[in-house]
Amino acid sequence: MNERIKELIEQAEDYAAEQHDFHTHLERTLRYEAFKEKFAELIVKECMNVLDPGGHQLIARFHTRQWLSEHFGVK
């Protein structure tokens, strides 16, 4: 697995752990949901960062980055 993906998984796990304890089934479910949501957000942000405007094809990269942000609702 890609090292950056592993880092994003760890960040999402840390976020989920901060949001929910792990004592009850409901909390485990909520923690897993928080993990999935945060992991997806981090993946989209990583894609947006790769497309951060700069270099050649500035306009196309900017529009792609903006589309990703709007499509996935990530700022």
For residue range 18-42, list pLDDT tens digits in order. Answer: 888 777 888 888 889 999 999 999 9
pLDDT at residue 18 in the model: 87
Can you give the pTM of this predicted structure?
Answer: 0.68
CA distances to 4, 13, 17 from 74, in Å: 19, 19, 21
Neighbouring residues of 41: CB distance < 8 A, sequence distance ≥ 6: 72, 74
Contact between 20 and 27 under an 8 Å Cβ cutoff? The reply is yes
Average pLDDT score over residue span 15-20:
86
